[in-house]
């Protein structure tokens, strides 16, 4: 997955599966930043984002579950 920096004046969801017919978006490291613009203080959101083709979304979800399983097994076997 290739991550790129992005920003928005609206707080983004971590996962967006509705705004595009082609892509699903995954976002991480979302941070609110105060900016001064035309004498007003506004909140801007900066984050990293990647695009996943809708036809690959099922594979992405399977990979997330596999990573969660690995993390869980690692956690419960660390003290053995």
What does R_g of the chain's alpha carbons equal in angstroms? Answer: 17
pLDDT means per 10 residues in the chain (80 residues)? 95 96 97 93 97 96 95 88
Supply the pLDDT for residue 35: 92
Residues paired with residue 28 on neighbouring β-strands, in sequence order: 48
What pLDDT, on a 0 to 100 scale, did the predictor assign at position 71? 94
pLDDT at position 37 is 86
First to last CA, the chain: 34
Q: Which pLDDT does position 33 carry in this prediction? A: 96
Model's pTM, two decimal places? 0.79
The pLDDT value recorded for residue 6 is 97
Contact 47, 9 (CB under 8 A): no
Q: Where are the beta strands (DSSP E) in the chain?
A: 4-8, 15-16, 23-37, 40-53
């Amino acid at each position: 997955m290739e991550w790129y920096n992005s920003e928005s004046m609206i707080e983004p969801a971590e996962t967006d599966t509705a705004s595009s017919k082609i892509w699903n978006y995954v976002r991480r490291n979302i941070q609110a930043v105060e900016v001064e613009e035309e004498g007003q203080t506004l909140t801007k959101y900066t984050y990293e984002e990647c695009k996943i083709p809708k036809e690959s979304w099922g594979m992405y979800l399977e990979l997330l579950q596999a990573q969660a399983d690995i993390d869980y097994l690692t956690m419960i076997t660390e003290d053995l």
